[in-house]
Amino acid sequence: MYRLIVGGEEQESDLSFEVLNPFDSSVIDRVASARPDHVEAALACAETARPRVRALPRSERARILSTVSLKLLEAREEISRLLAAEAGKTLAEARGEVGRAANTFAFAADEAKRLAGEIVPFDAVPGGHSRQGYSLKVPLGTILAITPYNFPLNLAAHKIAPAMAAGNPFILKPASATPLCDVMLGRMILEAGFPAEAVSVLPGPGGAVGLQLVRDQRPRMVTFTGSVEVGKQIAREAGYKKIGMELGSNSGIIVTETADLDFACSRIVSGAFALAGQVCISVQRVVAHREVFGQVVDRVTALAGKIKTGDQLDPSTGMGPMITEKEAARVEAWINEAARSGAEIRTGGARAGTLFEPTVITGVAEDAKLWQEEAFGPVVSINPYDDFERAIASINETRYGLQAGIFTDSLEEAFRAIETLDVGGVIVNDFPTYRVDQMPYGGVKDSGIGREGLKYAIEEMTEEKLICFNFWRPD
């Protein structure tokens, strides 16, 4: 059984739960579940550790972060198989995530060395000529990280690594479906030499463990990735502290008549069906110019039909299961609802337990759940457009705004999309699923608050301290 980590010490609990393989519901292992006293002890340890972590030189923070990166790469195959088993990823997807997590810690090491304030030009105002000063970036305090099941390792890295780089203790509450890799990550961080009391990993139910942590006023920031509904609950419960939210999306793509259709369609398929569509920036909606609409549908349908679904641990599998049968049934219901309203299923649409066929559907009404809400499953809707401004409006007219993409050879259309798409990131001539770990990443509207990406997250996890010297002396 995997033990939880409280202030650097692995502890057992009389509460535990099974972690299941989503493909066949087989038990991978058990993990200890945090009790209220574990939560209280982790919070107390983090506060005790604050001065020690704050005092770590930037060079030492960077060394520790680099060591974690190397440890992830050294154990890549072991972690990948565990990650694939608990999250339902294919082995290729899992290996990719471990590599990204290692990069995230490496980028954080670089940013730890660069962390600094700036010179303040006091003489820019009358009477300020005798003053000189600067600002410092000082650690914010204990960081509470709450992570989802779809990228349990790398999204934990995106919260923990900047916290460490900024000189903060952290408490990680992993998703109950996927806690095993995060416990392993906690061990690696301790082995790398981060102060023990500053490290806690507390698996357990969000309604108990998560809320106790969120409501406590000792953490100075909650950084959360997950659903809009849970994010809004956290915002209500958090009290007087910073919050960072990466929430839902239903990312859209515009395919113009000048696009490279072979490339665009291959990227649509990659973006729609990676991790069975359970990606925040998964391609969910496509609007294609009517001149190329038929070609886009035919090519995407043909490519989707070639994807082999099945056991994610089989190297020949192209798409694994969804995380639970309940989630798969929800996606099935949304697709059937759209079909009853006149949409046409071009391929897929069938479900067997947690396995769901890659699905392409056309003619989806823009007020349907499948167009308006986050499907978070292996389905892409493709509709035609005649007017470019209408295409922009079609992408914008939802409550989400994380990332969007456009395929075009027209600079005018590209810049028009950049100016008017109401999203946190516009990807030109690629899919909105594109993300590198050092870029600013986050959304608008119900897609979240704040930005991830190492430099940008570190900014959120520090405070600006002003230093001012007055050199004036009376004659």
Q: CB–CB of 430/267 below 8 Å?
A: yes
In the prediction, which pLDDT does 473 show?
Answer: 80
Neighbouring residues of 245: CB distance < 8 A, sequence distance ≥ 6:
224, 225, 231, 234, 235, 448, 449, 450
In the prediction, which pLDDT does 475 show?
Answer: 66
- Select the CATH number that applies to the domain covering 252-428 from these four: 3.65.10.10, 3.30.2130.10, 1.10.760.10, 3.40.309.10: 3.40.309.10
Cα within 13 Å of Cα(411), Cβ side: 0
Q: Is 280 a catalytic residue?
A: yes
Q: CB–CB of 99/49 below 8 Å?
A: no
Q: Is 246 a catalytic residue?
A: yes
CATH 3.40.309.10 residue ranges for the chain: 252-428
Q: CB–CB of 348/121 below 8 Å?
A: no
Annotated active-site residue in 246, 327, 374, 460: 246
Q: What pTM value is reported for the model?
A: 0.96
Homologous superfamily of the 4-248+443-466 domain (CATH): Aldehyde Dehydrogenase; Chain A, domain 1 (3.40.605.10)
Ranges of beta strands (E only) in 297-378 are: 344-347, 351-352, 355-356, 359-362
Query: Could you read off the pLDDT tens digit of each residue along the chain, which spans 475 residues?
Result: 999 999 999 999 999 999 999 999 999 999 999 999 999 999 999 999 999 999 999 999 999 999 999 999 999 999 999 999 999 999 999 999 999 999 999 999 999 999 999 999 999 999 999 999 999 999 999 999 999 999 999 999 999 999 999 999 999 999 999 999 999 999 999 999 999 999 999 999 999 999 999 999 999 999 999 999 999 999 999 999 999 999 999 999 999 999 999 999 999 999 999 999 999 999 999 999 999 999 999 999 999 999 999 999 999 999 999 999 999 999 999 999 999 999 999 999 999 999 999 999 999 999 999 999 999 999 999 999 999 999 999 999 999 999 999 999 999 999 999 999 999 999 999 999 999 999 999 999 999 999 999 999 999 999 999 999 999 887 6
Residue of 303, 291, 294, 266 whose CA lies nearest to 382: 294
Cα angle 461, 151, 283; round to 5: 105
Q: What token pair was written down for 165?
A: 């780089």
CATH 3.40.605.10 residue ranges for the chain: 4-248+443-466
Question: Which amino acid, residue 241?
Answer: K
Annotated active-site residue in 97, 181, 280, 459: 280
